Structure 1
């Protein structure tokens, strides 16, 4: 209570004092550029993924434009120790994503290397994934995919380094005949998701769909 008075939660965009763990106030929320993609139909994300690997369905919640609000929100989630923003983004996703009667079998989040996980203190995708899992009643796995190499943040890499992901990921346990919904925060080149998707596809008779918080447009 005292900490709330001394350090009230503020909108990351306009600095207005707001309640709870929300990242933005109601007025600034209207400035978020949501994609309005249809998970089951062709969209910009699905078309880009098709160039990299076989994909069933794809959904991106927000546009990740330079200097826009979604970029600030995800930056707070990843680098400012605001893990609870992941639940808020999941709530926004739930309002816009309907699996109908074709739910995937398992939700799988992109892993951090153990060293990076220790540095950050949390994986920014875990609370997001767990919130979706509880609402949609779909099991999740945080350990199906293993990240084999420690590397600096994607945002700090040049394009060539982003493309160099050979042997970065591996499957940690058997999986076959499953429809996997692969979850990440931002889609840029798509190389990370492509590398993981191929590992899942090679592991057995699996199919892959993609869910991301924001797509770089």
Structure 2
């Protein structure tokens, strides 16, 4: 296409021209710090979750370190209108995450407040979640959880504010006896995930597992 000639797709890290359906070149891809977590085993994110709420299984795709490539990837997804990054990261996830014979019943991503959704134009987790849903044949529900309060982006808050539970969530439907996989982009303190998890756990005889694109260690 003409646009591809004048505006070629470039590697997010080194700026080399790459295929249109890629995010980074092969050389830079090797620089991404994948966690190599096993969904069923104890890992760092599971240890952190267990301090906050009863959790079944956990998986983080990447390490979210200062100045590393995973930070650039998620920043582009959230703040540079590159919703397609969610599909690429989901493809990386499916290559590394095996539910075996214990798939969750439902995929639920952390919602944005309607005002934030209008400002951004999309929820950065929706395409990611939908891609996983199609690959694993697990249904998703973008309406199950409602965010009740609007606030500034998590990345703009200082550490103390992130430690406080600024957002509250509510369940919009009756749900019981389900194993819910909660999906978020970055796990920092875990307060957001924990707030949603407790709403799900209180709603009925449910179980909660967690999947995030990256964990901030």
Q: What TM-score does the superposition give when structure 2 sets the normalisation length?
A: 0.98
With over 3 angstroms needed to count, the CA separation of the structure-2 counterparts of 1:166 and 1:17, relative to structure 1, is closer
Tell me, in whole angstroms, the C-alpha distance in 2 between the residues paired with 1:70 and 1:139: 27
Tell me, in whole angstroms, the C-alpha distance in 1 between the residues paired with 2:127 and 2:194: 23
Structure 1 spans left out of the alignment, 5+ residues: none
Tell me, in whole angstroms, the C-alpha distance in 2 between the residues paired with 1:166 and 1:73: 26
Alignment of 1:32-181 (within 5 A): 32-165=32-165, 168-181=168-181
Which runs of structure 1 show a deviation greater than 3 angstroms over 4 or more consecutive aligned residues? none
Give the superposition deviation at 1:165: 2.5
Give the superposition deviation at 1:6: 1.5
Tell me, in whole angstroms, the C-alpha distance in 1 between the residues paired with 2:157 and 2:22: 30
* Alpha-carbon displacement from aligned partner over 1:92-124 (angstroms, at most 9, x marks no partner): 000000000000000000000011111111101
Tell me, in whole angstroms, the C-alpha distance in 2 between the residues paired with 1:19 and 1:152: 35
Tell me, in whole angstroms, the C-alpha distance in 2 between the residues paired with 1:150 and 1:28: 36
Question: In structure 2, the residue corresponding to 1:13 is in which secondary structure?
Answer: coil
Give the superposition deviation at 1:159: 2.2
Maintained 8 Å contact 2:8/2:20: no
Structure 2 spans left out of the alignment, 5+ residues: none
* Alpha-carbon displacement from aligned partner over 1:166-210 (angstroms, at most 9, x marks no partner): 661111111100000000000001000000000000010000000
Count of aligned positions:
217
* Alpha-carbon displacement from aligned partner over 1:59-101 (angstroms, at most 9, x marks no partner): 0000000000000011111111110010110000000000000
* Alpha-carbon displacement from aligned partner over 1:7-50 (angstroms, at most 9, x marks no partner): 11110100001111322111100000000001001000000100
> What do you get for the CA RMSD once the two structures are aligned?
0.9
Tell me, in whole angstroms, the C-alpha distance in 2 between the residues paired with 1:132 and 1:27: 26
Question: In structure 1, the residue corresponding to 2:135 is in which secondary structure?
Answer: helix
The yes-or-no answer on 1:5 pairing with 2:12 is: no
Q: What TM-score does the superposition give when structure 1 sets the normalisation length?
A: 0.98
Tell me, in whole angstroms, the C-alpha distance in 2 between the residues paired with 1:74 and 1:56: 26
